[in-house]
Amino acid sequence: MAFISLPFVLFFVMVLLGMCVAPSRYLRHWLLLVASAYFYFTWKHVYLLVLAAPIVIDYFCGIRIEESANPRARRRWLAAGVFSNLLLLGYFKYANFFLGSVAALAGIAPRHFEIALPLGISFFTFKAISYIIDIYRGDLAACRSPVLFATYVSYFPDLLAGPIIRASVFLPQMARSLRPAWPRAVVGVQMILLGLTKKLVIADQMAPFVNAVFADAGAYSTLTVWSAVIAYSLQIYCDFSGYSDMAIGMSKIIGIDLPENFNMPYLALSPIEFWRRWHITLTKWLRDYLYFSLPGLRESRWSRYRNAGITALLGGLWHGASWTFVCWGALHGLAIMVNHLWVARRLRRGHAPSRALAIRASCWLATYIFICVTWALFRSQSFAMAATVLHKMSGLALGGISWFYSPLLMVLPLVIGGHAVGVIAARRVGSRPITGTYVLLPLPGFAGAFLAACWLLVLLLFGGSGANPFIYFQF
Amino acid sequence: MFTSTLVRCAAGILAAASLFELGLRPFVAGWNQPEGPVRTIRSYSEGFSVAHFEPDGLGTYGNRLTGNPPLAGAPEGLIVGDSHVIGQAVRDEETMGAVIERLSRAAGRPLNVRQYGWSSAKAPTYLGSAELLVGARNPAWVAVVLNAYFSINALTVTRNWRMEIAADDSYRLMDVRPPPTIGRLQKMRRQIGRSALALALWRRMGLIWNAAAYDESLAESARLEEHDPRLVEQAGRVPRITVLGLKKAYGSRLLIVYTPGFFGTDYDSAEPIEQEVLGLCIEQGVACFSTRAAMARERYDHLLLSRGFHNTAPGAGHFNATGHRIIGEEIWRYLAAHSPPAP
């Protein structure tokens, strides 16, 4: 059941109706669980078992960790839980990648398992892992209700591509009445509309141009390839953050607040800042459960930088089973390490971060160019393709077809305007991003109706058909 | 309080609709509006296009105008084809017919070109319309623009005309056009044509639904190809029937122009049906050529793609001004080489 489709709209409306009429909170929990299971079931029936595996294993592991007084037993239960999740992820996502890599190294013909990647496996396994680690660390009490825990892991709005919500944030909210309410619905609907606009008006409009240029980058001019990479930077941001917005909006209507996943990442002035603004829930997950778990954190600053690099490298691998993703993660890891070194060096010399506009603009440009270069690697399906794209971007390969893609110029004002609104809103409410605050229209009244109607018309007249799947579904 | 809020909201929605109505007018105009001897279609799906037609009952919209003044008493040439000949996304003076007219007139040979295209048309439409076209215009030549998508589609297409082929190579044309009476839907479309906003919304929904329908029809064709051996056998004979049928329908005036399906940047695709059509033409003594070499030359020597517009992916969609120019130039090159010199 595609997210942007009539069946999904009907499904969501049915869920809301059910939430409204269900007489007790307990029944509403059941309804959410059944709806989530049905939602996943519609993608591929058999993978419901894959979703059920971490639910069953981590439910019991969580309870055993909490109940065990012996630290070694606790560690064993934790290891069992984490290992089972990683095994699931490793088999479905990385088995063919490692087999292929080993075969390539050994110079033998690769063998492949016939495995289709279960949707959202990277997301729900991470949710399950964070749950048992939190219990082990004593940050969370084990969930005794299998219904609540199963709902947490399989919760349909964020099941396929996040945001990765922690059990410590999700489970307490399940104690609310969970009845759809008008004020939350107003914000939720606007978040859904914002997500749809990002996806249909921007991401899906960029996709044909990006696909065409990346398919044969060597045939195009340097300027055209740069345009395609910039278009891709907009596509991937609007595609992924559009999904997050829709998930947050839907969840808000249901009655559960999902964490913010993006905070205008292309305004970042450094790679470190970029990762504080991009896929925030994954960055925090990697920081809390990987970076802090790596050895040597308190030994020296070099160990910290090394750990940051390793975390970024594994973050790259998390995105996809391909060496281009590993390389993408490694480049970001290297940039983060250099960034940390640079900041530490300046601090040692007593330099405060510069506030001069020219310096900040240079930092922004350098960061954005770096991100675009790494996106070229991220988007390429092979190193050969990436090499062609990067060669063209470097300007060393002259000539090629020049293609002016007008939708790129048309969406730029939209993106810039959206960021301007975001910056103004962030100044008003402080640095803390508040879900949906900046999209609240002044409803009701002339201005509200005017803006809402304009928004809908833009969506209807200039949006794609919604046929392009979300990019992050493949991860 | 509630009523005044409601009124303010309604005024806001009306203001937004008015803004879009005015803003869209330069980019959206329908076939039905305004009524008159020249109809204009504006669209923004492939470039920002303005196309003019002379409605005369032939083709989907009539004769696509060339932007050149017609010359009294000059011989006429006809270009017949599908939506590529309608050329809705290129300007009048960029159409293949306009190029031929200019080249011909510059060479001292007065010529008027009329262009008739049918949306999604296949060879049966060109056969079914032949008598009417030749009878109405008595052209000096008729260029039929073909592409690779006419074998199985000629038997299954649900618009215009389709054909059924018998075992002895005789064929039966079936007119599957909707009846000419104005139905409720057409009346509604006519009314919708008055508003740029309504028309744009109508087209958008049509585009989305058409895209879905197109995918379904492809799947249906694939299914038929897989499961209907009779149809597959018939489809294999469509190129032969097409060449024979067109020869019979248009006689010595016929010129078949094959346009390869170059999409994207790869201009080396092999199209077996192209070789089959060209071979059949030689066998049957029918004037025929392919624009393959000219398009590839333009692609590799001058880095110009024959398809695509500034708001589409490179090389996607219909022929652009370059594609029309190449086809026009190639037709003219053929005509110049195969007709008596100008007096």
- Candidate from A219, A407, A454 with C-beta closest to B311: A407
pLDDT digits (tens, 9 = 90+) for B63-96: 999 999 999 989 999 999 999 999 999 999 999 9
Mean pLDDT of A4-18: 89
- Candidate from A208, A402, A461 with C-beta closest to B204: A461
- Asked if residue B343 is part of any domain, the answer here is no
Residue A5 CB neighbours (<10 A): 12
Query: How many cross-chain Cβ pairs, A to B, lie less than 8 Å apart?
Result: 93
Contacts of A468 in chain B (CB under 8 A): none
The CATH number of the domain holding residue B212 is: 3.40.50.1110
- Rounded to a whole number of angstroms, the distance from the CA of B51 to the nearest CA of chain A is 20
* pLDDT at residue number B224: 65
A5 touches chain B (CB under 8 A): no
- Asked if residue B304 is part of any domain, the answer here is yes
Cβ–Cβ gap A404/B310 under 8 Å: yes
Q: How far apart are CA A204 and CA A235, in angstroms?
A: 7
- Rounded to a whole number of angstroms, the distance from the CA of A69 to the nearest CA of chain B is 60
* pLDDT at residue number A472: 66
Q: Is A319 a catalytic residue?
A: yes
- Rounded to a whole number of angstroms, the distance from the CA of A203 to the nearest CA of chain B is 14
Q: Where are the domains of chain A?
A: 6-180, 183-469
Cβ–Cβ gap B200/A461 under 8 Å: yes
Contacts of B200 in chain A (CB under 8 A): 461
- Tell me how many domains chain B contains: 1
pLDDT digits (tens, 9 = 90+) for A132-180: 999 998 888 888 899 999 999 999 998 887 789 999 999 888 887 777 7
Who has greater pLDDT, A458 or A432?
A458
Who has greater pLDDT, B190 or B117?
B117
Judged against a pLDDT cut of 80, whether residue B210 lies above it is answered with: no
* pLDDT at residue number A43: 79
Closest CA to A168 of A214, A122, A134: A134
Mean pLDDT of A396-410: 89
A398 touches chain B (CB under 8 A): no
Average pLDDT in chain B: 85
Contacts of B302 in chain A (CB under 8 A): none
pTM listed for this prediction: 0.86
B213 touches chain A (CB under 8 A): no
- Asked if residue B271 is part of any domain, the answer here is yes
B25 touches chain A (CB under 8 A): no
pLDDT digits (tens, 9 = 90+) for A344-395: 888 888 877 777 888 889 999 999 999 999 999 999 988 889 999 999 999 8
pLDDT digits (tens, 9 = 90+) for A84-121: 999 988 888 888 878 877 887 877 777 777 777 788 88
Q: Which residue of A has its CA nearest to B19?
A: A454
Mean pLDDT of A14-22: 89
B303 touches chain A (CB under 8 A): yes
Task: Give me the domain span that covers residue B301.
Answer: 2-338
Judged against a pLDDT cut of 90, whether residue B34 lies above it is answered with: no
Contacts of A449 in chain B (CB under 8 A): 8-13, 16
Find the range with the poorest average confidence among A122-126, A458-462, B224-228. Answer: B224-228
Who has greater pLDDT, B131 or B219?
B131
Active-site entry in A29, A45, A279, A319: A319
ipTM for this prediction: 0.83
